[in-house]
Amino acid sequence: MKLAFVMLAATAALAQPVHDLLLKGGHVIDPKNGINSRRDVAIAGGKIAAVAENIPASQARKVVDVSSLYVVPGLLDIHVHVFAGEGSEYTGENSVFPDDHSFRNGVTTVVDAGSSGWRNFADFKRRTIDRSHTRVLAFLNIVGRGMGGAVEQDTADMDPKRTAETALANKQYIVGIKTAHYAGPDWTAVDRAVEAGKIAGMPVMVDFGQFRPERPFEQLVLEHLRPGDIYTHAYLGAVPLLDEAGKVRPYLFEARKRGVIFDVGHGAGSFLFRQAVPAIRQGFLPDSISTDLHIRSMNAGMKGMLNVMAKFLNMGLSMEEVIRLSTWNPARWIKREELGHLTVGAVADVAVLRLMEGQFGFVDVNGARLRGSKNLAAELTIKDGRVHWDLNGITREDWDKLPKNYGPQGDASWDATISHGGGARRGRR
The secondary element (H helix, E strand) that includes residue 413 is: helix 412-415
Say what the pLDDT of residue 408 is: 66
Task: State the sign of the Cα–Cα–Cα–Cα dihedral 419, 347, 66, 100.
Answer: positive
Enter the DSSP assignment of 208: -
Say what the pLDDT of residue 421 is: 61
Beta strands in 18-106 (DSSP E): 19-30, 35-44, 47-52, 60-65, 70-73, 75-80
CATH number for the 74-341 domain, one of 3.40.50.10070, 3.20.20.140, 3.40.50.410, 3.30.420.40?
3.20.20.140
Widest CA span in the chain: 90
Facing residues of 22 across strands?
A: 42, 63
Total residues found in the chain within this entry: 429
Beta strands in 98-222 (DSSP E): 107-117, 135-141, 174-180, 204-207
φ, ψ for residue 6, nearest 5 deg? -60, -45
Say what the pLDDT of residue 190 is: 98
How far apart CA 9 and CA 383 sit, in angstroms, is 34
Contact present, 263 and 76 (Cβ < 8 Å)? no
Say what the pLDDT of residue 145 is: 96
pTM of this structure: 0.93
For the segment 151-198, what is each residue's pLDDT rounded down to a tens digit? 999 999 999 999 999 999 999 999 999 999 999 999 999 999 999 999
Say what the pLDDT of residue 417 is: 55
Could you write out the three-class secondary structure of 233-301? CCCCCCCCCECCCCCECHHHHHHHHCCCEEECCCCCCCCCHHHHHHHHHCCCCCCECCCCECHHHHCCC
Residue ranges of the chain with per-residue pLDDT less than 70: 1-15, 408-429
The secondary element (H helix, E strand) that includes residue 355 is: strand 350-363
